[in-house]
Structure 1
Amino acid sequence: MSNSPHKIAIEADGYAATLKRLRQISGLLDNAITIPGTKVGIGLDPILGLIPVGGDVLVLIFSFYIIIESARLGVSRATLSRMVVNIIIDALVGAIPMLGDLFDFAWRANSYNITLLEDYLKLPGEKKKADQGFIIALFAGLFLLAIVLVTLPVILIAMLWKTLTGG
């Protein structure tokens, strides 16, 4: 870790251990394995996304955790909202069979969210935290997204089965 003034300020605020843990989770999801002979990495997100229904939901749970910790660190409404948009894009496009799996290789929502968190924590001056009601509404929305991610593939599989079997 370099000794840049921003990193030192973040460590002095007591965020270092949490940031380290969140970076590890993000790296695991978005960039765990480097493809030999390239600088391109893949994480568990696209791999777990290959598991119908449950894979995308599992990745979403880890992404929730990054947002929960960011809220606990006092991130603003605006930053939390941007983080959620990244996750929504990842979850909804990622749920599309085949296209979503390819998309997961390129879209690194968790890495983007860690960057947003770090940028927010580097800002000088007093920071305005998101209020409790906003955070609760945010998680209610993310919970509904998880339900959609489970329900949508089940409906699509049932429709496909019905079409194939003529029933």
Structure 2
Amino acid sequence: MAADLPLGTDPVSVRARIEAMERLLERGFTVPGTSYQFGLDAVVGLIPVIGDFIGAALGAWLVWEAKNLGMPRWKLWRMMGNVGFDTAIGFVPLAGDALDFLFRSNTRNLRIVKKHLDKYHPQTRVIDQ
């Protein structure tokens, strides 16, 4: 999968990388016998303190990629707020881990980026099948 990701700075390449990272962080695994998906963000969040910082760093990478697209500051602040909230709730013992499975900051941030790309770079749209 990693070999298939484009390395360019054009919007199409950035979109592909952000979508792949979101998939890994939020939907990389499926609970056996169900259709419920969770990702690396929830798994590393189970490690006290360090896991929350790792999840925040990975979420911040998505914001950095969005910044390189030239997104407006208010959208970047909104994305950082999502990552910050996700990190803050992760510090709450037990309840924070449960909420981390429900509040998917990276999915929210991907939605913000996709909306921006669809409006300003419509050639990056991909029809999901």
TM-score (norm 1): 0.64
Q: Is the Cα contact below 8 Å between 2:56 and 2:84 reproduced in 1? A: no
Indicate whether 1:38 and 2:34 are aligned. Answer: yes
Could you tell me which of 109, 113, 120 is aligned with 1:113? 109
Shift of 1:49: 0.9
Higher helix share: 1
Measure the CA separation in 1 of the matches of 2:14 and 2:94: 34
Q: Which residue of 1 aligns with 2:127?
A: none
Unaligned 5+ runs, structure 2? 1-9, 122-129
Q: Is the Cα contact below 8 Å between 1:79 and 1:120 reproduced in 2? A: no
Indicate whether 1:96 and 2:98 are aligned. Answer: no
Shift of 1:124: 4.6
Indicate whether 1:77 and 2:76 are aligned. Answer: no
Indicate whether 1:59 and 2:55 are aligned. Answer: yes
TM-score (norm 2): 0.81
Q: What is the count of residue pairs matched by the alignment?
A: 113
Measure the CA separation in 2 of the matches of 1:77 and 1:40: 34
Q: 1:146-166: CA deviations, max 9, x gaps?
A: xxxxxxxxxxxxxxxxxxxxx
Unaligned 5+ runs, structure 1? 1-13, 126-167
Q: Which residue of 2 aligns with 1:27?
A: 23
Shift of 1:105: 0.5
| RMSD (CA atoms) | 1.7
Larger radius of gyration: 1
Residues 124/28 of structure 1: CA separation in 2 closer, same or farther (3 Å cut): closer
Measure the CA separation in 1 of the matches of 2:120 and 2:82: 25
Shift of 1:30: 0.9
Shift of 1:16: 1.4
Question: Identity of paired residues, percent?
Answer: 32
